[in-house]
């Protein structure tokens, strides 16, 4: 039975749709609300945004009227329980409302960590349109959710989730996964800053900081780290290759160098430039003669390397697909199953002691992926911890920041979760699922 039919069946049996709360009513959030509005059996019943007008606007643009606002928890709870819709400017208040699942569309690591933690502790499923949080503390959050009986998941529609589906497809067919990745459609200019991209961002109706995170490569590094951790794949090399190629050539490029490709080994993530974006891909191998013969007959090439390609990802439009698996089946679409990759931070210019880093897509740093093992050995600071960090010494351009270079805000939720995650990863294998102090078992 399709999820559409099961959602309707659930609504008939419970007398209400799946109630969804959304945090963040920017471009992604608005698209999410509009799409959920079209799906029978689920409703966005609460939206939180620091700009209350943006929250109400996202609902009203989707045709949802009579939106109730305020900060009276009991009143808002009654409105939601009676089938109404609310908008608030406090994400913490939203996570306390009677919703079945909370979706974070802020893209801010600290906010995502706060929302996920509050949702999990309240026994609510949580879905992130916030890969930045996942690549910083996603392993811990997914484990906490599993222990409490909730589901933690990244949402469908972003490249990590859709590439993972191709990985699962290949593995289910007993192909060996050689490389998984995405196409990047922005130029790679790691030193570009929001102030340099303001005019382009205005033309594209984008936040300059968001555009900078695409152009400087941070977003691609973040997405591929999430894929590596979810699919238990390695990192091709520091910074990945950004090799310019085309879809028909993917399987000729992303294979081991011993067979004419660019990789030093199989089982890694990487990304391509050129006309591969906005798609995702997997390069897989089969050594079974009959399979090779049949794949050639089916037009997939002479083998033994094959590319499986999805030419699109639909971002917030596809994100609602992660709600039914969580609510109906207790299944996460994508979460870290291992901790294989980290995203560190390189400096966009020389930075002097005392300066304060403004975070992902800002004026100071760009993301740089590497293996988690190398990041530990070199004491590299995760990119997701650096917003608000103060430099303790002068560093040159393209310097990868270490914990010795910065003073972090240790009071943040994401810092404290990361400290616990590091402690657990240092003492037990990533696949272990044991009790976490302070988290109730379901």
How far is Cα 14 from Cα 254, in angstroms, rounded to an integer? 49
The answer to whether the beta carbons of residues 404 and 375 sit under 8 Å apart is: no
User: What are the structural domains, with CATH classification, of the chain?
Assistant: 3-158+317-329 (3.40.50.720)
Tracing tokens 């469908």 back to the chain, one arrives at 156
User: Which among 9, 27, 26 has a CA at the least distance from the CA of 18?
Assistant: 9
* 8 Å CB contact between 86 and 67: yes
Contact 370, 339 (CB under 8 A): no
Using CA atoms, how far apart are residues 415 and 410, in angstroms rounded to an integer?
6
- CA angle, 277 as apex, 182 and 347 as ends, to 5°? 65
What's the pTM? 0.96
| DSSP notation for 200-226 | HHHHTT--HHHHHHHHTSHHHHHHHHH
Bridge partner residues of 310 (DSSP):
280
| Token digits of residue 141 | 């959050």
Best CA proximity match to 212, nearest among 181, 187, 243: 187
**Structure confidence at residue 205 (pLDDT):** 86
3-state secondary structure of 400: strand
d(CA 322, CA 238): 31
* pLDDT string in tens for the chain (442-residue length): 699 999 999 999 999 999 999 999 999 999 999 999 999 999 999 999 999 999 999 999 999 999 999 999 999 999 999 999 999 999 999 999 999 999 999 999 999 999 999 999 999 999 999 999 999 999 999 999 999 999 999 999 999 999 999 999 999 999 999 999 999 987 899 999 999 999 999 998 889 999 999 999 999 999 999 999 999 999 999 999 999 999 999 999 999 999 999 999 999 999 999 999 999 999 999 999 999 999 999 999 999 999 999 999 999 999 999 999 999 999 999 999 999 999 999 999 999 999 999 999 999 999 999 999 999 999 999 999 999 999 999 999 999 999 999 999 999 999 999 999 999 999 876 544 455 555 555 5
How far, in Å, CA of 205 to CA of 302, rounded? 45
Q: Residue 97 region, left (φ>0) first, then alpha (ψ -120 to 50), else beta? A: beta
């Amino acid at each position: 039975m399709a999820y559409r039919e099961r959602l309707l069946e659930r609504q008939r049996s419970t007398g209400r749709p799946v109630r969804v709360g959304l945090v963040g009513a920017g471009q992604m959030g608005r698209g999410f609300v509009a799409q959920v509005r079209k799906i029978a059996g689920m409703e966005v019943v609460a939206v939180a945004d620091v700009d209350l007008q943006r929250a109400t606007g996202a609902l009203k643009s989707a045709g949802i009227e009579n939106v109730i606002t305020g900060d009276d928890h009991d009143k808002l709870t009654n409105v939601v329980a009676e089938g109404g819709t609310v908008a608030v400017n406090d994400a913490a208040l939203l996570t306390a409302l009677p919703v079945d699942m909370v979706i974070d569309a802020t893209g801010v690591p600290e906010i995502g960590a706060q929302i996920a933690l509050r949702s999990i502790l309240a026994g609510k499923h949580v879905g992130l349109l916030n890969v930045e949080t996942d690549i910083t503390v996603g392993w811990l959050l997914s484990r906490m959710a599993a222990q409490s009986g909730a589901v933690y998941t990244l949402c469908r529609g972003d490249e990590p989730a859709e590439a993972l589906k191709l990985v699962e497809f290949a593995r289910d067919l007993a192909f060996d996964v050689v490389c998984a990745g995405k196409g990047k459609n922005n130029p790679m200019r790691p030193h570009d800053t929001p102030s340099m991209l303001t005019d382009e961002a205005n033309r594209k109706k984008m936040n300059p900081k968001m555009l900078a995170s695409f152009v400087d490569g941070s977003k691609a590094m973040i997405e591929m780290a999430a894929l590596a951790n979810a699919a238990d794949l390695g990192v091709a090399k520091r910074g990945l290759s950004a090799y310019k190629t085309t879809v028909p050539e993917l399987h000729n490029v992303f294979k081991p160098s011993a067979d004419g490709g660019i990789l030093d080994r199989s089982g890694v993530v990487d990304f391509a430039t050129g006309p591969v974006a906005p798609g995702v891909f997997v390069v897989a191998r089969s050594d079974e003669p009959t399979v090779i013969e049949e794949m050639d007959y089916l037009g997939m090439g002479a083998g033994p390397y094959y590319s499986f390609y999805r030419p699109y990802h639909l971002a917030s439009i596809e994100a609602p697909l992660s709600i039914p698996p969580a609510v109906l089946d207790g299944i996460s679409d994508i979460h870290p199953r291992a901790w294989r990759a980290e995203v560190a931070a390189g400096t966009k210019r020389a930075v002097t002691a005392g300066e304060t880093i403004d975070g992902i897509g800002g004026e100071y740093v760009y993301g740089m992926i590497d293996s988690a093992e190398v990041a530990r050995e070199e004491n590299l600071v995760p990119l997701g911890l650096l917003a608000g960090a103060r430099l303790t010494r002068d560093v040159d351009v393209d310097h990868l920041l270490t914990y010795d270079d910065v003073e972090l805000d240790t009071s943040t939720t994401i810092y404290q979760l990361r400290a616990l995650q590091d402690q657990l990863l240092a003492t037990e294998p990533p696949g272990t699922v044991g009790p976490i102090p302070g988290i109730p078992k379901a």
